Amino acid sequence: MRSILKIFPILTLTVAVILHGINFINPLPAEYLVYGHLFLILGLVVFAIRRKDLTTWILISIVMGVIIGRDFPGVAMSLQPLSQGFIRLVKTIVGPIIFATLVYGIAGHSDLKQVGRMAWKSLLYFYTATTLALFIGLAAINITQAGVGIDMSEIPQHELPKTSSTKDSDLQALEQIPESAHWIFKTTAFFRDVFPENIIKSIHENQVLQIVVFAVIFGIGLAQLPERKKKPMVDFMESLAETMFKYTHIIMYFAPIGVGAAMAYTVGHMGIDILKYLFMLLLTLYGALTAFLLLVLLPIALYMKVPIKRFISAIKEPVSIAFATTSSDAALPIVMQNMERFGVPRRIVSFVVPTGYSFNLDGTTLYLSLASIFVAQAAGMNLSFGQQLLICLTLMITSKGVAAIPRASLIILIATADQFGLPTFIIAAILGIDELMDMARTSVNVIGNCLASVVIAKWEGEFDQEKALTFTPE
């Protein structure tokens, strides 16, 4: 029986390929291909059940979604509530996870009096690297224009973005201001709107920047309390953050259904042609990440005289784990162990790497800038360079508070879409290839944090070059 189950998925794939081959030479009746696809779905389900792996289920659900969208468009469009339900679940994470991680990061770890120079050097490096990543992502998507040309005519009107996100009261105020000064009012209004009037309301409405501002001020205030009064609240924030991480892991078990439904609805609504745009987005991301590695991280490593071959040996295993699991956290113990063996003192590794997991997610920040502009392009929104920079500024701030867990960037992307009136429907389409993108961006996150620990150690004059030159994998 086991041997039959092992070869059954291969058999179904073979039948599907043969049918498509015959159809290419001599067109078959449509129902032949439909039956072949249903047979393939059965084989894929058997394979996924045998593997018992979430990643396998997500990838297979993508294929199933494409098949259902192609062969049964009516059924596919009826599945949209499932993808919407998954996005709703993700949205519930936004406020609590950003608030808890930022407060804990400021009050629990970023004690500037204790870590001294290392703190501001690390933060300066983190913000420089992630800012460069954002701009590379922005440049890449504007060069490839991967989202331009998607036919949105079939999308229900309520899914389209508003033509203006300016409040009615602001529109009335603008009528009293000369047109030449409108940009000043809009700029100051943006900064006005980042300050919360009610933090519960801000969390309810997923106003990310308001949550960030409140969390930063709250964290600074908490950090100034005596240890006896500070510790219970810091412990609570750590527990809340860890709980939200577990919450995220739990709802990700619904991801195969949400992703499959999203892909089915996308293909059923927009046809099979949508896949070429998603594939172009995937290629754009991989190209941009490669450019970041070659144009930013490699020159930094060369300038700091890091032994490249030994460094690659040190990061090879943790990067492989990050790529396979799409989780930076899964690679954290090996990262810290290997970086210490590579010549970075333990006190620097223990500060820089965990802090970098919240503040130095190079791959994730690059992806966020790229994906958010892709959503705008797909929706037909012609954003000016200034508007794109404003989105990047928001991402630069909000992406710092999210832990490096699988698909955590999805939380920020949805929150940013809400902030700027971008349609979440397009994000549902991106979900179909998010697993493949997550592998690459998570790997770059790990590489960036490994290099950051070496750079800070060298900047502090405490890097052991001899250890680095003699490093060998265990």
Per-residue pLDDT of 110-141, as tens digits, reads: 455 555 577 788 888 988 998 899 899 999 99
- Which residue is listed with tokens 């309520």? 158
DSSP letter for 160, please: S
Domain segments of the chain as ranges: 2-78, 80-469
**pLDDT at 115 (0 to 100):** 53
Q: Tens digits of per-residue pLDDT, 440-461?
A: 888 899 999 999 999 999 988 8
Q: What's the mean pLDDT in 296-310? A: 93
Kindly report the average pLDDT of the chain as a whole number. 79
Q: Which of 144-158, 214-228, 268-282, 337-351 has the lowest mean pLDDT?
A: 144-158
**pLDDT at 312 (0 to 100):** 92
Per-residue DSSP letters for 91-124? HHHHHHHHHHHHHHIIIII--HHHHTHHHHHHHH
Distances (CA, A) of 434 to 61, 104, 442: 12, 28, 12
Instruction: Look up residue 185 and give its two tokens.
Output: 């009012």
Alpha carbon distance 157, 447 (integer Å): 42
Separation of CA 13 from chain center: 32
Alpha carbon distance 374, 66 (integer Å): 21
Q: What is the 3-state secondary structure (H, E, C) of 40-61?
A: HHHHHHHHHHHHCCHHHHHHHH
Separation of CA 150 from chain center: 22
Q: Which of 162-176, 373-387, 435-449 has the lowest mean pLDDT?
A: 162-176
**pLDDT at 162 (0 to 100):** 43
Instruction: Look up residue 27 and give its two tokens.
Output: 């067109």
pLDDT beyond 60 at 165: no
Q: Which of 255-269, 303-317, 449-463 has the lowest mean pLDDT?
A: 255-269
Are 21 and 45 within 8 A, CB to CB?
Answer: no
Q: Which of 254, 208, 242 is nearest to 431 (CA)?
A: 254
Alpha carbon distance 414, 383 (integer Å): 18
pLDDT beyond 60 at 413: yes
Higher pLDDT, 299 or 316: 299
Separation of CA 304 from chain center: 29
Higher pLDDT, 2 or 223: 223
Q: What's the mean pLDDT in 223-234? A: 87
Separation of CA 237 from chain center: 23
Q: Tens digits of per-residue pLDDT, 28-82?
A: 887 878 888 888 888 888 888 888 777 678 778 878 888 888 888 888 888 888 8
Instruction: Look up residue 271 and give its two tokens.
Output: 């046809």
Listed in sequence order, the residues at least 6 apart from 68 whose beta carbon sits closer than 8 Å to its beta carbon are: 75, 76, 79, 260, 264, 267, 268
Q: Which of the four pLDDT bands, split at 50, 70 and 90, describes residue 262?
A: confident
Task: Among 28-32, 49-53, 288-292, 378-382, name the most confident range.
Answer: 288-292
Helical packing angle, 408-420 and 385-398, nearest 10°: 140
- Which residue is listed with tokens 């800038």? 369
DSSP letter for 294, please: I
Alpha carbon distance 337, 346 (integer Å): 9
Listed in sequence order, the residues at least 6 apart from 355 whose beta carbon sits closer than 8 Å to its beta carbon are: 105, 109, 110, 122, 126
Q: Which of 417, 95, 111, 86 is nearest to 255 (CA)?
A: 86
DSSP letter for 163, please: S
Q: What's the mean pLDDT in 139-156? A: 75
Instruction: List, in sequence order, the alpha helices (H) in 360-463.
Output: 362-378, 385-398, 408-420, 424-459
Q: What is the CATH T-level fold of the domain 80-469, as seen in this structure?
A: Proton glutamate symport protein (1.10.3860)
- Which residue is listed with tokens 């709250």? 218
Instruction: Look up residue 68 and give its two tokens.
Output: 């259902």
- Which residue is listed with tokens 């939380």? 411
Are 93 and 290 within 8 A, CB to CB?
Answer: no
Q: Which of 309, 338, 335, 348 is nearest to 443 (CA)?
A: 335
**pLDDT at 164 (0 to 100):** 40
Listed in sequence order, the residues at least 6 apart from 119 whose beta carbon sits closer than 8 Å to its beta carbon are: 110, 111, 112, 351
Q: Which of 200-214, 332-346, 368-382 has the lowest mean pLDDT?
A: 200-214
Instruction: List, in sequence order, the alpha helices (H) in 177-252.
Output: 182-192, 199-204, 208-223, 227-251
Element (DSSP H or E) covering residue 85 = helix 80-104
Instruction: Look up residue 60 and give its two tokens.
Output: 């297979």
pLDDT beyond 80 at 424: no
